[in-house]
A = this chain, B = another copy of it.
């Protein structure tokens, strides 16, 4: 299944790009300087995976060693800084990429934890961390309550994707490849449906 890996590779870079765009845009709006924008873009794209790799013992974290993550994040930040009109024009594909990245990161994050020999709980938790950790770091750096904890079906889509792939692999329902594809499609679809119909998880009004 050579095509599958090419497809993953494309999704991985597209997701990294979309995550970095979200980081760079938020940093720009907050008035950060060039270094700040590059840093936040990189941390949104790679932060979740770095925390996952520290927790599973994958040293050094992939986000720090593979230059194409850094390059993709720098490219996204550069666009956001000097070609902001273009970034505003590609808003819709970026939302698609973001949802795809969310689902893919959750699934590959969970699988990497399993490959390193850890149990289902670790895999599900770190799948979620891979997908939403970067966004949480972005909001901490920008000094606000992480949006993923406040509203929107976002982490839930990551949870669902990670859950499906971990259950599928544990109970040997289908091949790994098929389970991954199904999990990515389900996570992606839940996220897109939530965006389309403005689904939110219940919350309590602030005191």
Contacts and interface: CB of A to CB of B under 8 A. Distances in A.
Contacts of A35: 148-149, 155-156, 159, 201
B141 A143 contact: no
A120 B146 CA distance: 32
A170 interface: no
A40 interface: yes
A30 B207 CA distance: 7
Contact of A141 (B30, B54, B145): B145
Contact of A206 (B30, B144, B201): B30
Contacts of A205: 31
Interface residues of A, number: 55
Interface string A105-121: 00000000100001101
B64 A33 contact: no
Interface in A47-91: 50, 54-57, 59-61, 64-65, 67, 70
Interface of A: 27-36, 39-40, 50, 54-57, 59-61, 64-65, 67, 70, 113, 118-119, 121-122, 125-126, 136, 140-146, 148-152, 155-156, 159, 200-207
B150 A32 contact: yes
Give the interface SS of chain A, mostly helix, strand, loop or mixed.
helix
Contacts of A70: 121, 125
Nearest to A126: B64
A67 B33 CA distance: 36
A60 B200 CA distance: 32
B36 A149 contact: yes
B34 A203 contact: yes
A50 B55 contact: yes
Contacts of A145: 30, 32, 141-143
